[in-house]
Amino acid sequence: MMTPIDHEDAVLHLRAGGTSVVLDVAAGRLPAIVHWGQDLGDPSPALLADLAVAARPQRISGGLDRPGRLTLVPQESDGWLATPGLAGHRAGRGFTTALSTTGIDADASSATVHAADERGGLAAEIRLEVTASGVLRSRIRLTNAGDDDYTLDDLHVTLPLPDDADEILDTTGHHLRERAPQRRPLTIGSHVRESRRGRPGADSTLLLAVGTPGFGFERGLVHAVSLAWSGNHRMLAERTVTGESLLAAGELLLPGEVVLASGETYETPWVVASWGDGLTMLSGRIHDDLRARPHHPRRPRPVTLNTWEAVYFDHDLERLTALADRAAAVGVERFVLDDGWFLGRRDDTAGLGDWLVDPIVWPRGLGPLVDHVRGLGMEFGLWVEPEMVNPDSDLAREHPEWLLRGRDDLPVSARQQQVLDLANPDAWTHLRDRLDALLTDHDIAYLKWDHNRDLLEAGDGPGGRARVHDGVVALYALLDDLLARHPGLEIESCASGGARVDLGILERTHRVWTSDTLDPVERLQIQRHTGLVVPPELLGAHLTSPVVHSTGRTVSLELSAGVALLGHLGIEWDLTALDDAGLERIASWVALWRRHRAMLATGRVVHADLADASVDVRGVVAADGAEALVTITQVASSRSHPGARVRIPGLDADRAYRVTTLSPDDAATPGQSPLQWASGVTLTGATLGVVGLRAPALLPQQLALLHLEATT
């Protein structure tokens, strides 16, 4: 139960999940966080008060008479001279704000700070929650308490960093190479990452992390923020000359996008913040937090076959039923029909927006295929891209006013597509009704929901207002409505691969499509850094054909399957082209994943920090430490041959583990002797984490799969 706190001189200590957050309520107009990180135990009120005093800066020569503080919403009126937490105006006037605490409600792990700027006509609620996993969640509600409109330019959550946080990690990329890591020092000034694409984008950073120099997965103090929002956003890391360092995140608002009339409220997206001694601990907190949600997917994740790389637009009932037969035979549990099923859709230049089954391709409708798939014991899924439209479509011809634009001309096209204005009530209702009819008329358990282009000039018509914010809100409402109408429906977030992966979309979807590339060599990096936020059971990872569609690389089944094994397994392959032996090999990998999927959906993801960058060691350790699956991938030629010893982190140090190689298709490499321990060796978790064991002698782009089972 929340209780009111005397905010004149209080120090608040929020604790949960191994995390402490200490707020100095008397720091300025608003409270300041003086510690966010390791649990401090249960210090007395006097010790907490002294902790707050010890963090207060002194006045210096040439500085302000009252030094500015990094408060929950840093403001210029409080002496803050770096990036403000709030910016706005009333038709060019009232640009400065002076929000001050009016009350605080708090319990052991959360607090709501009430604030007001009576003269400026603003009121705010700042919410802080430390969850059972030790994640800090925060958001801000701003209300226009004045008589005239208030134009909001920027409002973001701001969190402090420890003084020794000197190195930034974020991600960038492009289509087929999402979430590539990049590092740089945190120097004086701001490091700003923005998305202006109407979606996070393939080049966006899923999280912004700052830590001690050289921090890795296994060690090094690191703090990070991720934003639960699926549109334009801004994240920044900043260091000031006054010794303050910070992380901040919030929605990036386009000019005039949010104008609050008297009494109206804007609420920031949730900022999800985590910390750890190494990225494994940091990401583990986020995974645990997601898994604690009441609506988190808990039934066994179905093995999925998607038809895109098998048939592309060549839809034919006989061919697809044959593919479904092969899919069921290898253990697939969900069959997804991809692009090409709807009106006029023979390629990607036409038909998008006309969500009716094409009677030419499907003269008897989708029913025969759905019935065949369901008769094989598999769920049926369908690809849709509801937010997009081809100009060559009945929808665009009948309702050109439903297309986003800021001028008379349409925005520059992408993939021959324009974007629907979901914030238009008529467009929203039309789309909802079409999708609802599809789901009502067919036994569809799953939608692959795609979003294949960035937004440009996203307005509600010539000379109108920007619509990105309203469009994201409308998207969330549409997803919520469909899920309420069709209990049990699951939705995948796909966006030309992994261009819409964020904690906002994951509140309403059941997995993400990590990337359009299924090249396992590329996927190693993409899945590693997507996994900083997304746990394995929500991370789509499919087997691919021997010649990879996106890169042309020739890969083995062992490499493809081994990399996909530590995610939500699926298949993207024309199985009708395989002989019985090939199908048996795939079936053995599917069976292996199905045996371990419960552990993969609840365990802790670990990565080894190795000196040899040509070797990748990662795995999932069961929540109780009783077993683990680990892959060792030789990405490129090693400096050692045969392989050097590799460490396996994250195990229970005091338990002994029986380690065996576990590959359904394990063949000896000509010219080399068998690995002496391949049939099994027993070592303690401490030994495996510190000393390690000799890696198999792998050639470049080969993978070994290990199973570890605790014996004590």
At 590-625, the pLDDT tens digits run 999 999 999 999 999 999 999 999 999 999 999 999
Shared domain for 157 and 255, answered yes or no, is yes
Is 273 inside a domain boundary? yes
Q: Which of 270, 291, 312 is the last residue of a domain?
A: 291
Query: What is the structure's pLDDT at 705?
Result: 96
Q: Which helix (H) or strand (E) holds 371?
A: helix 367-375
What mean pLDDT is reported for the chain? Answer: 96
Cβ(650)–Cβ(703) under 8 Å? no
Structure tokens at 152: 């909001």
> How many Cα neighbours within 13 Å face the side chain of 298?
7
Query: What is the structure's pLDDT at 193?
Result: 98
Q: Which of 555, 571, 597 is the last residue of a domain?
A: 597
Shared domain for 376 and 270, answered yes or no, is no
| Whether pLDDT at 48 is above 80 | yes
Is 9 inside a domain boundary? yes
Query: What is the structure's pLDDT at 320?
Result: 98
Sequence-distant (6+) residues with CB within 8 A of 50 are: none
Shared domain for 28 and 158, answered yes or no, is yes
Cβ(351)–Cβ(390) under 8 Å? yes
Shared domain for 557 and 631, answered yes or no, is no
Evaluate the CA torsion angle 356, 361, 365, 371 in order and state its sign. negative
Question: CA nearest 117: which of 139, 150, 164, 91?
Answer: 150
Cβ-in-10-Å burial (0-12, 13-18, 19+) of 436 comes to: middle
% pLDDT > 90, the chain = 94
Query: What is the structure's pLDDT at 346?
Result: 95
Cβ-in-10-Å burial (0-12, 13-18, 19+) of 44 comes to: exposed
A 10 A CB-CB count for 212 gives 15
Phi first, then psi, for residue 510 (nearest 5°) are -115, -5
| d(C-alpha 173, C-alpha 111), whole Å | 37
Shared domain for 239 and 184, answered yes or no, is yes
Shared domain for 23 and 156, answered yes or no, is yes
192 pLDDT tier (thresholds 50, 70, 90): very high
Phi first, then psi, for residue 168 (nearest 5°) are -100, 135
Cβ(216)–Cβ(609) under 8 Å? yes
682: domain CATH number? Answer: 2.60.40.1180
669 pLDDT tier (thresholds 50, 70, 90): low
Give pLDDT tens digits for 502-561: 999 999 999 999 999 999 999 999 999 999 999 999 999 999 999 999 999 999 999 999
Helix (H, G, I), strand (E, B) or coil at 463: coil
How far is the CA of 129 from the CAs of 86, 135, 312, 396, 650, in angstroms?
A: 21, 8, 46, 45, 28
Shared domain for 200 and 255, answered yes or no, is yes
Structure tokens at 390: 């081809």
- Name the domain count of the chain: 3
Shared domain for 202 and 332, answered yes or no, is no
| d(C-alpha 389, C-alpha 403), whole Å | 8
199: domain CATH number? Answer: 2.70.98.60
Is 466 inside a domain boundary? no
Query: What is the structure's pLDDT at 181?
Result: 98
A 10 A CB-CB count for 71 gives 27
Shared domain for 46 and 128, answered yes or no, is yes
| Whether pLDDT at 364 is above 60 | yes
Prior bond to 642 cis, omega within 30?
Answer: yes
Is 671 inside a domain boundary? yes
326: domain CATH number? Answer: 3.20.20.70
| The residue to which tokens 């440009």 are assigned | 456
Which residue range(s) make up the domain with 46? 3-58+65-291
Question: CA nearest 457: which of 498, 408, 404, 493?
Answer: 404
Query: What is the structure's pLDDT at 8?
Result: 61
Give pLDDT tens digits for 634-645: 999 998 888 889
Distance of CA 232 to the CA centre of its chain: 15
Query: What is the structure's pLDDT at 9?
Result: 63
Is 461 inside a domain boundary? no
| d(C-alpha 516, C-alpha 519), whole Å | 9
> How many Cα neighbours within 13 Å face the side chain of 302?
22
Q: Which residues are designated catalytic?
A: 450, 516
Query: What is the structure's pLDDT at 335?
Result: 99
| d(C-alpha 370, C-alpha 497), whole Å | 26
Is 299 inside a domain boundary? no
Question: CA nearest 621: which of 571, 655, 586?
Answer: 655
| Whether pLDDT at 362 is above 60 | yes
How far is the CA of 435 from the CAs of 276, 366, 576, in angstroms?
A: 43, 14, 31
Structure tokens at 315: 């839809």
| Whether pLDDT at 668 is above 90 | no
Q: Which of 291, 318, 345 is the last residue of a domain?
A: 291
| The residue to which tokens 């000019």 are assigned | 255
| Whether pLDDT at 666 is above 60 | no
Is 423 inside a domain boundary? no
One-letter-per-residue 3-state SS of 238-260: EECCCCCEEEEEEECCCCCCEEE
| Whether pLDDT at 264 is above 90 | yes
| d(C-alpha 423, C-alpha 335), whole Å | 32
| d(C-alpha 526, C-alpha 498), whole Å | 9
Cβ(563)–Cβ(524) under 8 Å? yes
- What's 532's DSSP letter? T
Query: What is the structure's pLDDT at 664?
Result: 66
1 pLDDT tier (thresholds 50, 70, 90): low
% pLDDT > 70, the chain = 98
| Whether pLDDT at 665 is above 90 | no
| Whether pLDDT at 50 is above 70 | yes
| Whether pLDDT at 3 is above 80 | no
A 10 A CB-CB count for 679 gives 9
Cβ(215)–Cβ(229) under 8 Å? no
| Whether pLDDT at 679 is above 90 | no
Give pLDDT tens digits for 412-465: 999 999 999 999 999 999 999 999 999 999 999 999 999 999 999 999 999 999
Shared domain for 105 and 245, answered yes or no, is yes
Shared domain for 29 and 169, answered yes or no, is yes
- What is the full DSSP assignment across 412-474? PPBTTBEEB-TTSHHHHHHHHHHHHHHHHHS---EEEE---S---S-BBSTT--B-HHHHHHH
> How many Cα neighbours within 13 Å face the side chain of 414?
13
Structure tokens at 421: 């204005």
Segment 262-280 mean pLDDT: 98
Is 296 inside a domain boundary? no
| The residue to which tokens 């994943």 are assigned | 593
Shared domain for 588 and 628, answered yes or no, is no
Structure tokens at 123: 């009121």
